[in-house]
Amino acid sequence: MSIKHYLWIIFILGLRTGCAKPAAQPNYIDIHPNDNMETIVKKAAALRPSPRQAAWQKLEMTGFIHFTVNTFTDMEWGQGDESPQIFNPTNFDAEQMVKACKDAGIQLIIPTAKHHDGFCLWPSKFTDHSVKNSPWKKGRGDIIAEFAAACQKHGLKFGFYLSPWDRHEPSYGSDAYNEYFVNQLTELMTQYGEISEVWFDGACGEGNNGQRQVFDWETYYAIIRKLAPKAVIAVMGPDVRWVGTESGYGRETEWSVLPLAVQNRDKITENSQSDVNFIPNEDKTQEDLGSREKLKNAGTLVWYPSEVDVSIRPGWFWHENENNLVKTPEKLVDIYYSSVGRNSVLLLNIPPTMEGKFHEKDIKSLQGMRQILDNTFENNFLEKASSSNISGINILCDGDPESSWKSKDLTPRLIFGFDQEIEFDRFMIQEDVFNVGQRVEAFSLFAKINGKWQEMIKATTIGYKRLLRFPPVKTDEIKIEIFESRNTPALSEIGLYKAPPDINIIPEKASFKNHLEVQLESSEPGCDIFYTLDGSEPNRNSQKYSGPITLTESTTLKVFGIRENKTTLVKETIFTKARYGITYIHSFSPKYSGGGTFGIIDGKTGSTNFADGLWQGFEGQDFEVILDLGDSKTLQSASARFLQDYKSWIFLPQQVEFLISRDAKNFVVIDRIINDISVNDSGPVIQEFKTTALMENVRFLKIKAKNIGHCPQGHPGENGKAWIFTDEILIL
């Protein structure tokens, strides 16, 4: 028999016995009653993600798209009784959204196929409560199909959110609902191409019929495993854990291996799965989930990694009155460091408007975030380093999270030198969690400065990825020291980077009477700042900043900085020159200053959201101001706008008086308008109080709005101080 024949037989045998493809290691391990602490810790250190968890972890940034009837009713949680007729996006554009996500670095998209209100964004066969009964595309549209197609076209992965809680479906609360849910799940799993993540929300309450549902999770999971074996099941699922907050900030110490209570062990064995196939339902909001202390009493250890879900706006759905509250690029970058940079996957929500596309402000923030991140991570100094004490370091900068430098010690020390001095302020380090496991418990980064090692930053866990920030440092030698590990660590990637500086405009925003001094400050020395005052985009040829700028007219200031080829984002502020002087009899609350002293005569009106930065708030006091018109004038009208938001203790004034004077001492009442809007909690309202009496010879105009004093009887804050909120006075 020739060698060839021999190999052929081995190959056939291998196939038959399954050796050609080694069986995946389970993503859990049992603890035996006689395992000591050392054994338990070693077991934890040996666990690795399942293949589907591994593929998901590498995505780093994923995107949520919350869209449903809520977008049209201005709600966060729909009631379930909304008519499908209200769902009518005027210009739905899945590609615009998918492209914006892709440009931002998002690699998988999860639209809400059905939120708690029960309305389905796809034409499900199993209910009439869907797009098929909406006017959008005459009932022939399918939002999920359009998202799936756009993702496929642009190379993004696709998943969906399907709310188990359903406030519309009449069968909710019975076995029939489980059947309904399974049918819907099957539709979504079979009609839209490859599914990479299924997101089951933990939020759950009664249906409209007052019933609660007992969910048949095992059946749901079995269907997903059968129809999309590569998909992860998130949150109310076995593969991906909710980080425990919706703030965008993960834990400083984030373990992907978690202990499970003893009683859950049987279930794993019963399933005889290679992966855990039920919700590890321990409390996910605790600060410590996976320390040695926590592992001590575990029955089983399981790989259950964290996902950080957060919205780019205060709400998950789009609301007109949150257009001013879109998170800034800098805030999104901070979230990136605190999620992706803390061993988690980021799930960033961007909600479409009633048009059915992202708002320009959200897109601008996404672009700004990407620009800062690209600018930071474009050059890894460690690629050019050499090590004096370890070999084979190229593997640490090869961009492959699965190739690693494997330490022989529990507490290795890695020293790197550079041909010339480098300046950096960001550190990235990854463990090979895919082939080895998560092991590091404490480490530090040092820089040699004047011949001495100085600690730049210290941290605990690494896991898939850790990103650390610290003030810029210059050196030609660095040291990474691992102080504690569960077993000998394997590092896959490391990086040192320099972030672009930031620029602050001081004051950040303001209106002024005569003139205003504006200063520009960089977060780092050596940054050249350029600006324009005419609304044009600043560049290197624009005016260079050398000291305070004095503004005497309303101005759009745009600034941008360069420091050693790192550019900042362009920042912009509109400073408005007020036409009148203004004196406050009672001052506004510093929490709600609405743009400061001149904020109520700057032409900017607020939304129904009292916290949008444009409203001035007065707690328990009247609103009373005197406007100085500069010289004697004839006025056609004067008005003031006020807000009522019952839930937030903000009430319309009892009455508003308009008074005029020539000398600011003797005032004559021109008009008194009594409020006739009732005090109720039917949602925020804005009311304008306006006088149209002709006012002659006016130099000073006083506006006096009477606070109702205390929250009325029956209000949750009964007898607490009532607020008055105003955003704008208009004089014609």
Would you say 14 or 202 has its CB closer to ligand FUL? Answer: 202
Nearest distance from residue 635's CB to ligand FUL, in Å? Answer: 48
- Pick the stretch among 151-159, 196-204, 671-679, 698-706 that binds ligand FUL (CB under 6 A): 196-204
What is the dihedral sign for C-alpha 124, 129, 131, 135?
positive
Instruction: Tally Cβ neighbours within 10 Å of residue 229.
Output: 9
- Pick the stretch among 87-95, 200-208, 386-394, 697-705 that binds ligand FUL (CB under 6 A): 200-208
CA distance 127 to 57: 35
Under the binding rule (CB under 6 A), the answer on residue 201 touching ligand FUL is: yes
CB distance 677 to 644 below 8 Å = yes
Q: Helices (DSSP H) in 47-197: which residue ranges?
A: 51-57, 70-73, 94-104, 143-154, 175-191
Nearest distance from residue 98's CB to ligand FUL, in Å? Answer: 19
Per-residue tokens: 66 = 């919350």
Identify any residues that bridge with 518 across adjacent strands, giving them in sequence order. 549
Look up residue 99 and give its amino acid: K
CA distance 239 to 326: 31
Nearest distance from residue 394's CB to ligand FUL, in Å? Answer: 41
Nearest distance from residue 149's CB to ligand FUL, in Å? Answer: 24
Among 309, 493, 645, 657, binds ligand FUL (CB under 6 A): 309
| H-helix or E-strand spanning residue 3 | helix 3-17
Nearest distance from residue 692's CB to ligand FUL, in Å? Answer: 45
- Could you say which residues in the range 149-188 bind ligand FUL, by CB under 6 A? none
Would you say 63 or 437 has its CB closer to ligand FUL? Answer: 63
Nearest distance from residue 95's CB to ligand FUL, in Å? Answer: 24
Nearest distance from residue 161's CB to ligand FUL, in Å? Answer: 7
Would you say 204 or 262 has its CB closer to ligand FUL? Answer: 204
Would you say 37 or 203 has its CB closer to ligand FUL? Answer: 203
Strand ranges inside 579-622, DSSP E? 581-584, 616-619
Would you say 215 or 453 has its CB closer to ligand FUL? Answer: 215
Among 13, 37, 203, 664, binds ligand FUL (CB under 6 A): 203
Phi/psi of residue 123, nearest 5 degrees: -80, 75
Would you say 165 or 588 has its CB closer to ligand FUL? Answer: 165
Which of 503, 497, 508, 458 lies closest to 480 in space, CA to CA?
A: 458
Would you say 75 or 145 has its CB closer to ligand FUL? Answer: 75
Nearest distance from residue 662's CB to ligand FUL, in Å? Answer: 57
End-to-end CA distance of the chain: 104
- Pick the stretch among 174-182, 198-206, 492-500, 518-526 that binds ligand FUL (CB under 6 A): 198-206
Would you say 193 or 202 has its CB closer to ligand FUL? Answer: 202
With tokens 């350029």, the residue in question is 530
Nearest distance from residue 203's CB to ligand FUL, in Å? Answer: 3
Would you say 316 or 725 has its CB closer to ligand FUL? Answer: 316
Strand ranges inside 92-240, DSSP E? 108-114, 157-162, 197-200, 232-235
392 burial level (CB within 10 Å; 0-12, 13-18, 19+): exposed
Strand ranges inside 369-489, DSSP E? 386-387, 405-406, 413-431, 440-449, 452-459, 466-485
- Pick the stretch among 38-46, 52-60, 195-203, 598-606 that binds ligand FUL (CB under 6 A): 195-203
CB distance 24 to 50 below 8 Å = yes
Nearest distance from residue 247's CB to ligand FUL, in Å? Answer: 12
CA distance 640 to 623: 11
State the binding string over 623-642 for ligand FUL (x if CB under 6 A, else -): --------------------
Would you say 76 or 93 has its CB closer to ligand FUL? Answer: 76
Nearest distance from residue 185's CB to ligand FUL, in Å? Answer: 17
Instruction: Tally Cβ neighbours within 10 Å of residue 374.
Output: 11
- Pick the stretch among 166-174, 201-209, 401-409, 442-450 that binds ligand FUL (CB under 6 A): 201-209
Would you say 202 or 526 has its CB closer to ligand FUL? Answer: 202
Would you say 236 or 503 has its CB closer to ligand FUL? Answer: 236
What is the dihedral sign for C-alpha 469, 471, 477, 479?
negative
Phi/psi of residue 484, nearest 5 degrees: -145, 140
Tell me whether the omega of the peptide bond preceding residue 51 falls within 30 degrees of 0, making it cis. Answer: no
Would you say 344 or 487 has its CB closer to ligand FUL? Answer: 344
- Could you say which residues in the range 48-87 bind ligand FUL, by CB under 6 A? 76
Widest CA span in the chain: 119
- Pick the stretch among 14-22, 45-53, 197-205, 212-220 that binds ligand FUL (CB under 6 A): 197-205
Q: Give the residue nearest to ligand FUL (CB).
A: 203
Which of 59, 60, 97 lies closest to 363 in space, CA to CA?
A: 97
- Could you say which residues in the range 520-539 bind ligand FUL, by CB under 6 A? none
Residues binding ligand FUL: number (CB under 6 A): 6
Q: 674 to each of 326, 376, 518, 621, 644, how far by Cα in Å?
A: 37, 58, 42, 17, 15
Phi/psi of residue 415, nearest 5 degrees: -115, 135
Would you say 353 or 380 has its CB closer to ligand FUL? Answer: 353
Nearest distance from residue 309's CB to ligand FUL, in Å? Answer: 5
Per-residue tokens: 129 = 């409560």
Under the binding rule (CB under 6 A), the answer on residue 205 touching ligand FUL is: no
Nearest distance from residue 115's CB to ligand FUL, in Å? Answer: 6
Nearest distance from residue 338's CB to ligand FUL, in Å? Answer: 18
Under the binding rule (CB under 6 A), the answer on residue 316 touching ligand FUL is: yes
Residues that bind ligand FUL (CB under 6 A): 76, 201-203, 309, 316
